[in-house]
Chain A
Amino acid sequence: MEAWMAVVVGALFAVSIYLMLSKHIIRILIGAAILGNAVNLLIFTNGRLTREVPPIIGVDESVLSAQAANPLPQALVLTAIVIAFSFFAFLLVLGYRAYQELGSDNTDEMRVAEPVDDQTPPLGY
């Protein structure tokens, strides 16, 4: 089970890195979203995969049963999902604004902050 999850995680990483190597902001954005999901699955896999035993302590018990799922990765993934979601929303707005203002989503053409025709500094007094 873990091995198959590792393959899935690896495939997702490959897809996201391929997308993020693109010049276009929108593809990088999708790549970032996939990257977030890949990491979430990675955390999940790292925390031991079990099936169908929720991590709930019964009424007359004081500890979790040994087969129960590990609740901590679930909490971590939940936090990471929330953060990745808010990031994605922000980046979407930012990328859209940048596209409107700069007229391009090609990162090669986004040279306002670092102009191409930059002068060299004066060499003498």
Chain B
Amino acid sequence: MRTLIFRTAVPYLASLMILFSIFVLLRGHNEPGGGFIGGLIAASAFAIYGIANGVAPVRRAMHFHPMSIAAAGLLISSISGLVSVFAGVPFMTGLWGSIYILGEKIKISSILFFDIGVYLVVVGAIASIALTLEERERE
């Protein structure tokens, strides 16, 4: 799979896919999309980067270990469920607020953070499995 064309195209493709995955993640707020599907797209970006350039550059590029990313995601998700204790509502209740950025009102919710957590869990877990399998193929 280490053809020149593939290896030249993959960095652009992978970065585009990760950008797109973040777009899908944020779009999931009100329209089809969301953390799970976004995470899958990002994980496949890492996977094809690994196919083209080997696993070690991917691990370097990710900086954190994939399992740590998944753990951080799970932590964000559970904390976004737990914050509702301060509002006196049950576990996992969505809390809404809005912030103003450059005069534009942006609604922000604990659900969004839950979704970001899901995104990170999926990226970490799937990338971890994919990279493990790719490493074994090289052996």
Residues of A within 8 A of B (CB): 82, 86, 89-90, 92-93, 96, 100
Contacts and interface: CB of A to CB of B under 8 A. Distances in A.
Contacts of A82: 36
Interface in B108-139: 125-126, 129, 132-133, 136
A86, A89, A90 — most chain B CB neighbours (10 Å): A89
* Interface residues of A, dominant DSSP: helix
A90 B132 CA distance: 11
Interface string B15-26: 000000000000
Contacts of B136: 96, 100
A100 B136 CA distance: 10
A75 to B, nearest CB: 12
Interface in B81-112: none
Interface residues of B, number: 7
A82 B39 CA distance: 12
Q: Please list the 10 inter-chain residue pairs (A to B) with the smallest Cβ-Cβ separation, ordered nearest first.
A: A89-B129, A93-B132, A93-B129, A93-B133, A96-B136, A86-B125, A82-B36, A90-B129, A92-B133, A89-B126
A82 B34 CA distance: 14
Contacts of B36: 82
Nearest to A90: B129
A24 to B, nearest CB: 20
Contacts of A93: 129, 132-133
Contacts of A89: 126, 129
Nearest to A78: B36
Given A86-B125, A93-B129, A96-B133, 9 more contacts: A82-B36, A89-B126, A89-B129, A90-B129, A92-B133, A93-B132, A93-B133, A96-B136, A100-B136
Nearest to B122: A82
12 contacts: A82-B36, A86-B125, A89-B126, A89-B129, A90-B129, A92-B133, A93-B129, A93-B132, A93-B133, A96-B133, A96-B136, A100-B136
Contacts of A86: 125
Nearest to B139: A100
A96 B134 CA distance: 12
Interface in B20-73: 36
A90 B136 CA distance: 14
A93 B125 CA distance: 13
Contacts of A96: 133, 136
